[in-house]
Chain A
Amino acid sequence: MIRGYAGKLLEVDLSAASFREVKFSDEILKDYVGGRGLAAKILWDRLGSRWETVDPLGPENLLLLLTGPLTGFFPGGRVCVSGKSPQSNGVIGSTVAGEFGVELKCAGYDGIIVAGEAEKPVYLFIKDGDVEVRNASHIWGMDAKKTVAALTKECRGLLKTRYPQKGEWKEPAILYIGPAGENKVRTAVVAAKWTHAAGYGGYGAVMGAKKLKAIAVKGTGPLPEVADMESVKRLMQEVCNNAYESELWRRWGTGAGGYDVGAKTSSEPVRNWQEEWHDEKSFGVDQFENRVWVKQYWGDFGCPTTCLKLAVVKSGKFKGAITDNPDYELQAYVGTNLGIFTPEGNVYMASVIDDLGLCGIQTGNVLGFAAELFQRGILTKKDLDGVELRWGDAEAFATLARKIAYREGIGNILAEGTCRAALKIGELKGVDVMPYAVQVKGVGVGAHGIRSEKDYPEIYSYACSVQCGDHTSVACMPLDDFRSELMMAFHDSGVYCYFNVFGLPRTLVFDFYKAVTGIELTKEEWVNTKAMKIIQLQRAMLLLGGPDLKWNPEIHDDNPPRFYEPLPSGPYKDKTVEKARVEEEKRRYYELMGWDERGVPKPEILKKLGLDDVDKVLERLR
């Protein structure tokens, strides 16, 4: 057996309320590692042949919660959430920080496969090998903070009653959904603690469709045996020492971006990306630090960086709002993108989003979209159920966020996410509103613009990514570039936080992998064979799509229309992205990936990678 793994997965069929253990061969684990890679493999094997007909929000879909061999060892523990995405209709590996992955491995499982759907709301309670589906009617409908409080109390009570000899029980780790997930909102997250979210992909809606409110797990065993503990310890120390050197990164996390990315690189969404520049000093990191952060270093299992901060608004009309930094993405998406430029307004919006179980990025994207339609008079106050959606009005945006989470009125349309909402509104109003939808293949684009070309994504990065608008998985050349999604797939498959990799030699993660698993792996081998296989699988399922939307790469492997408009302000005023250049880069990327001129993986590359079955299914698209 390969080291670093617990050795089995737990499969739960909620329709039948039955469990079984699933094991994978060493060959599969060597090829797909865990997390995102293994998710792609499981989904392809189980659903690939009929992918187009599988409804992401139906009982046929699988919800996957997978660790990787490095989870718990590489500083900064996470768990990867996946399944058929109700946003892209493909597969997204969405990771969330916290102790869930560690508890799961300590309980003896590398992951959980959730199939079917429950009749009534339930939650899963796992204590080592004891697994139970429990009634969740009493917590269904609760917001994030109430859910965590109720489950922590209930599960500690269960542990105390059932295993009384132990003394004080520590809380189990919990993954859960808020009201948005329950209502199958496509921008809903699978959450941990508070403010920790697997956002991209919309897996909160998948969990909600399965009527699975939460999973609580307590594992009392050790993490699995590793191949070489002395090397693991040495590498852990090396990762930590590197992180300790980076004082500003630790002190501010990504929270310095709210000002910097706008003012300096001019690549921050401002008022639904109508601009990407601002010089609002009221939004400086010093203001967050001095006014709202009550804990400067907040982190998850083994993390040396602790880049999260706790923010609490102590006075004024938003008094009592609690959230994290907010991190850069939420500073941008429920801050500048909505014309909100005060830490208090931003913290308030983020806390509303957290409580409802919404994704800050995707929901901020659709809120900005709606506000621009209001600005242009396409959506009226009447259409918005009486809400005057003016830029900067945090209370109006919060009202609309609640409508989205509960699918009330216009919220029911916006709950479908920007792409689907744009199609619906266009149909209702008889106006093409796609030019205002800043999304790629159903996924709102992360808060790093490409027009100034001063930020990290390339002009073709979102257009060609198998995770679409996901800013943590962008297409890049050369394919082994540290930003490339082929490299990101390693972090998402080993399942740990890649923020702790910054500043380290790029091969360290492979040394770490060897120390844990005992298996030699070079960067070249990873990129050219293993990651290549994972990305081809993801690409295949993305292109198969369905059942509601299907992507034609000739049309949809593209940037949002807005990215072709010139920047109206800032140091890169008038700068834009030329379509011809995007097309040229796309062609180069397709070639490197072994895709034909339409973007479909060619038989040659698939056969070379041993993916003959994928080739057969893709015949349908050629």
Chain B
Amino acid sequence: MTEKREAIWIARDLSRCSGCRKCEIACSLFHEGRIWPEASRIRVFMLVPGVEFPHFCAQCEDYPCVEVCPTKALSVSKETGAVLVDTNTCIGCGNCIEACPGKVPHMHPRENRVLICDLCGGDPQCVKVCQEGLWNVLRIVPRGTHSYRLYARRPEEIARDLAVKIYGEEGKRLL
């Protein structure tokens, strides 16, 4: 009998992000076997210095990216709730990027396929390193019925909010 995995979600406390980018290192080492920030499925944006934050899949409850995939390369993992990309059928059309409210997916820098967080099959490496370093930006929680789609936002939108949270009024001027 195989143990059934509980669907998870990565809760995120973005304003605590130190900008250390260990999540990018861990993700690319796990998936690509190399340190490769641009091929990481979680990417730390720094549109304003001091306002670094990880940008990665929020697993929207309605999965708009999966809906629009013309080759059915994208599917939802029954075990984890993650979006899975079948690299053989993905044609790199970019429809999923357009459909994502946060423009989270991005193309692999060397191959014609899209990169989306797969939750590492239920044991996300980014969360491990973030917890290990006590930054606690990322934390695993059981997936419930919240509006996860709210978290799929564009980098500019997140940066604007965080800049004001951290720097006050001055934050608006810094973008």
Whether B50 and A170, one on each chain, are in contact in the complex, defined by CB atoms closer than 8 angstroms, is: no
* Binding stretch for chain B, among A46-54, A79-87, A110-118, A221-229: A221-229
Contact with B along A289-323 (1 / 0, CB 8 A): 00000110111111110100010101000001010
The answer to whether A166 and B106 touch (CB under 8 A), given A148-B49, A193-B49, A320-B170, is yes
Contact with A along B26-56 (1 / 0, CB 8 A): 0011001111111100011111111000010
Whether A301 and B105, one on each chain, are in contact in the complex, defined by CB atoms closer than 8 angstroms, is: no
The yes or no answer to A145 lying at the interface (CB within 8 A) is yes
A303 to B16, CA, bound (A): 15
Name B133's contact: one of A233, A304, A310, A322 (CB within 8 Å): A304
How many residues belonging to B are interface residues under a CB distance threshold of 8 Å? 51
Closest approach, in angstroms, between the C-beta of B164 and any C-beta of chain A?
12
Provide the residues of chain B in CB contact with A472, threshold 8 Å. none
Closest approach, in angstroms, between the C-beta of A293 and any C-beta of chain B?
11
Name A168's contact: one of B29, B135, B155, B166 (CB within 8 Å): B155
Whether A223 and B21, one on each chain, are in contact in the complex, defined by CB atoms closer than 8 angstroms, is: no
Name A171's contact: one of B38, B46, B174 (CB within 8 Å): B46
**What is the interface residue range for chain A against chain B?**
35 or more
Whether A170 and B38, one on each chain, are in contact in the complex, defined by CB atoms closer than 8 angstroms, is: yes
A233 to B28, CA, bound (A): 13
Closest approach, in angstroms, between the C-beta of B90 and any C-beta of chain A?
13
Whether B35 and A171, one on each chain, are in contact in the complex, defined by CB atoms closer than 8 angstroms, is: no
Whether B49 and A302, one on each chain, are in contact in the complex, defined by CB atoms closer than 8 angstroms, is: no
Whether B107 and A194, one on each chain, are in contact in the complex, defined by CB atoms closer than 8 angstroms, is: no
Whether A149 and B155, one on each chain, are in contact in the complex, defined by CB atoms closer than 8 angstroms, is: no
A165 to B90, CA, bound (A): 14
Contact with B along A229-257 (1 / 0, CB 8 A): 10001000000100010000000000000
The yes or no answer to B132 lying at the interface (CB within 8 A) is yes
Q: Which residue of B lies closest to A232 (CB)?
A: B35
Q: Which residue of A lies closest to B115 (CB)?
A: A167
The yes or no answer to B94 lying at the interface (CB within 8 A) is yes
Name B50's contact: one of A194, A220, A314 (CB within 8 Å): A194
The yes or no answer to A181 lying at the interface (CB within 8 A) is no
Whether B38 and A297, one on each chain, are in contact in the complex, defined by CB atoms closer than 8 angstroms, is: no
The yes or no answer to B103 lying at the interface (CB within 8 A) is yes
Q: Which residue of A lies closest to B55 (CB)?
A: A168
The yes or no answer to A152 lying at the interface (CB within 8 A) is yes
Whether B21 and A297, one on each chain, are in contact in the complex, defined by CB atoms closer than 8 angstroms, is: no
The yes or no answer to A358 lying at the interface (CB within 8 A) is no
Provide the residues of chain B in CB contact with A306, threshold 8 Å. 18-20, 133, 135
The answer to whether A312 and B168 touch (CB under 8 A), given A106-B38, A165-B92, A167-B105, is yes
Provide the residues of chain B in CB contact with A225, threshold 8 Å. 34
Whether A220 and B35, one on each chain, are in contact in the complex, defined by CB atoms closer than 8 angstroms, is: no
The answer to whether A301 and B155 touch (CB under 8 A), given A167-B106, A222-B35, A312-B167, is no
Name B21's contact: one of A195, A244, A301, A322 (CB within 8 Å): A301
Whether B94 and A304, one on each chain, are in contact in the complex, defined by CB atoms closer than 8 angstroms, is: no
Contact with A along B57-70 (1 / 0, CB 8 A): 00000000000000
Q: Which residue of B lies closest to A77 (CB)?
A: B21
Whether B166 and A310, one on each chain, are in contact in the complex, defined by CB atoms closer than 8 angstroms, is: yes
A305 to B46, CA, bound (A): 19
Q: Which residue of B lies closest to A192 (CB)?
A: B49
Closest approach, in angstroms, between the C-beta of B136 and any C-beta of chain A?
10
Closest approach, in angstroms, between the C-beta of B51 and any C-beta of chain A?
9
Whether B33 and A229, one on each chain, are in contact in the complex, defined by CB atoms closer than 8 angstroms, is: yes
Closest approach, in angstroms, between the C-beta of B65 and any C-beta of chain A?
11
A102 to B25, CA, bound (A): 12
A102 to B47, CA, bound (A): 17
Provide the residues of chain B in CB contact with A599, threshold 8 Å. none
Whether B19 and A322, one on each chain, are in contact in the complex, defined by CB atoms closer than 8 angstroms, is: no
Name B20's contact: one of A167, A195, A233, A301 (CB within 8 Å): A301
Whether B55 and A102, one on each chain, are in contact in the complex, defined by CB atoms closer than 8 angstroms, is: no
Contact with B along A143-176 (1 / 0, CB 8 A): 0010011001100100000000111101100000
The yes or no answer to A344 lying at the interface (CB within 8 A) is no
Name B38's contact: one of A219, A304, A322 (CB within 8 Å): A219
Closest approach, in angstroms, between the C-beta of B29 and any C-beta of chain A?
7
Tell me which of A165, A168, A193, A223 has the highest count of chain B C-beta atoms within 10 A of its own C-beta: A168
Closest approach, in angstroms, between the C-beta of B84 and any C-beta of chain A?
18
Name B94's contact: one of A106, A167, A297, A298 (CB within 8 Å): A167
The yes or no answer to B175 lying at the interface (CB within 8 A) is yes
Whether B20 and A299, one on each chain, are in contact in the complex, defined by CB atoms closer than 8 angstroms, is: yes
The yes or no answer to A368 lying at the interface (CB within 8 A) is no
Whether A244 and B133, one on each chain, are in contact in the complex, defined by CB atoms closer than 8 angstroms, is: yes
The yes or no answer to B97 lying at the interface (CB within 8 A) is yes
Q: Which residue of A lies closest to B97 (CB)?
A: A167
Q: Which residue of B lies closest to A163 (CB)?
A: B107
The answer to whether A298 and B19 touch (CB under 8 A), given A148-B49, A168-B103, A168-B155, is yes
A167 to B29, CA, bound (A): 22
The yes or no answer to A72 lying at the interface (CB within 8 A) is yes
Provide the residues of chain B in CB contact with A193, threshold 8 Å. 46, 49-50
Provide the residues of chain B in CB contact with A168, threshold 8 Å. 45, 55, 103-104, 106, 154-155
The yes or no answer to B22 lying at the interface (CB within 8 A) is yes
The answer to whether A240 and B133 touch (CB under 8 A), given A145-B174, A298-B19, A302-B20, is yes
Whether A106 and B50, one on each chain, are in contact in the complex, defined by CB atoms closer than 8 angstroms, is: no
A167 to B47, CA, bound (A): 16
Provide the residues of chain A in CB contact with B19, threshold 8 Å. 298-300, 306
Nearest first, the 10 closest Cβ-Cβ pairs linking A and B are A222-B36, A193-B49, A167-B106, A220-B109, A222-B34, A306-B18, A167-B97, A297-B18, A220-B38, A223-B35
Can you list 5 pairs linking A and B with CB atoms under 8 Å apart? A106-B36, A168-B45, A300-B19, A302-B20, A320-B170
Known A156-B47, A220-B38, A225-B34; 10 more pairs at CB < 8 Å: A149-B174, A168-B55, A168-B154, A168-B155, A193-B49, A221-B110, A244-B132, A303-B18, A306-B20, A312-B168
